[in-house]
Amino acid sequence: MTQNDFPLTVSCDISLTQSDDQVSHSSLSGRPACTQSHSVKGTLLLVSSVGLLLPGVGSCPMKCLCHPSSNSVDCSGQGLSKVPRDLPPWTVTLLLQDNRIHWLPALAFQSVSLLSTLNLSNNSLSNLAAEAFYGLPHLRVLNVTQNSLLSIESSFAHALPGLRELDLSSNSLRILPTSLGKPWENLTVFAVQQNHLLHLDRELLEAMPKVRLVLLKDNPWICDCHLLGLKLWLERFTFQGGETDGAICRLPEPWQGKALLSIPHELYQPCSLPSQDLAPSLVQQPGSAPQDAQKSHENSSGQQDPLECEAKPKPKPTNLRHAVATVVITGVVCGIVCLMMLAAAIYGCTYAAITAQYQGRPLASARKSEKMGSKELMDSSSA
């Protein structure tokens, strides 16, 4: 603004208090009317306001492509090491796959509370902290395949109550939480393919009442007593119309390569509870090495040896064992009685034969004399 323009503005402000003649005189003298000055001020104010708002609404992070028409932001394959800042608040779909993100800070996505689909596949994530996903009540699909995840927290379901599809495939998961603490009401797809899982607790799956697709292949499943719960759950799940790709056993060797659902559940035995008598053995005995005590403690607190849970021959019921014992005893007694009867019969026959041998001759002579006497009587009667 020049020095000549400054008095113009001042005179216009003063003219508001002057009469109509004075205002018209000012207009004739070449000075702008007050109404014209106010319209210019309003235009400048509107432009400045829009200029202040546009950076927050229409901004797009560097190396990202923003598509307001579809409410999506594509930051894939850009070598990012962290979640970009200044994401548009209207973002519903965020693509961050094929980057180098190795961790997620707390509230990492708080600026995009409307987020519904999040793709974090093929990064370097080793942990999924529940705090990183706080503030995402509308998230429905989460893809974290091809990362380095070792585990997930049990509070993960609490942070994402509306999640429907969770894909954890192609990671390094060795263990999953045994319980989520509360049902994961909306989850319908649960995928843990191509991990290092040995067992999966039945209670975890029972916390997903609406799940319809469970993917379990390409894990080194140990089909021992610990996996019996998963087998029973899968049988009921498939009977009710659920879909699964099945679990293939790696151990024990007799079942290697066989589907878990094809093994009769009668071959499984419930895992035996740790005996109370073993508790004192954890205390180091005199003369025992500290390493042995530590090893026994580790075995008691960690996972059991897979060979300890191999299926054993099914024990016969107690009543059946008693019945078998009764039959055996009865058979032995009957055999003894039969032998005694046979011995008595042989003894009787032998005694009769001996008696007949010694008493047979006198009897024969007496009969002969009787016959001779009867013959003489007949001869005498004939005479």
User: Mind listing the pLDDT tens digit for each residue in 152-169?
Assistant: 888 889 999 999 999 999
Say whether both 39 and 180 belong to one domain: no
- The two beta strands, 141-143 and 165-167, are parallel
Would you say 113 and 88 are in contact if contact means Cβ atoms under 8 Å apart? no
Range of the domain at 37: 12-57
**223-251: pLDDT as tens digits:** 888 888 999 999 999 999 999 998 999 98
Please indicate, yes or no, if residue 197 is contained in any of the structural domains.
yes
Say whether both 114 and 72 belong to one domain: yes
Say whether both 87 and 233 belong to one domain: yes
**Which pLDDT value is given to residue 265?**
72
Phi, psi at 74, each rounded to 5°: -110, 110
> What is the value of pTM for the model shown?
0.59
pLDDT at position 266 over 90: no
Q: How many residues does the chain have?
A: 383
- Lowest-pLDDT choice from 79-83, 108-112, 138-142, 284-288: 284-288
Percent of the chain with pLDDT over 90: 43
Residue 365 or 372, more confident: 372
Residue 359 or 332, more confident: 332
Task: List b or e across 363-378, with b for residues whose CB sees 16 or more CB atoms inside 10 angstroms.
Answer: eeeeeeeeeeeeeeee
Q: Computed from CA positions of residues 151, 155, 160, 161, in that sequence, does the dihedral angle turn out positive or negative?
A: positive
**41-100: pLDDT as tens digits:** 444 344 334 333 443 455 899 999 999 999 999 999 999 999 998 999 999 999 999 999
Q: Please give the Cα distance from 208 to 186 (Å, whole number).
A: 8
Say whether both 139 and 233 belong to one domain: yes
Mean pLDDT, range 203-212, rounded to an integer = 94
**Which pLDDT value is given to residue 325?**
75
- How many structural domains does the chain have? 2
Say whether both 44 and 80 belong to one domain: no
Say whether both 110 and 215 belong to one domain: yes
Mean pLDDT, range 374-380, rounded to an integer = 54
Please indicate, yes or no, if residue 16 is contained in any of the structural domains.
yes
- The two beta strands, 65-67 and 72-74, are antiparallel
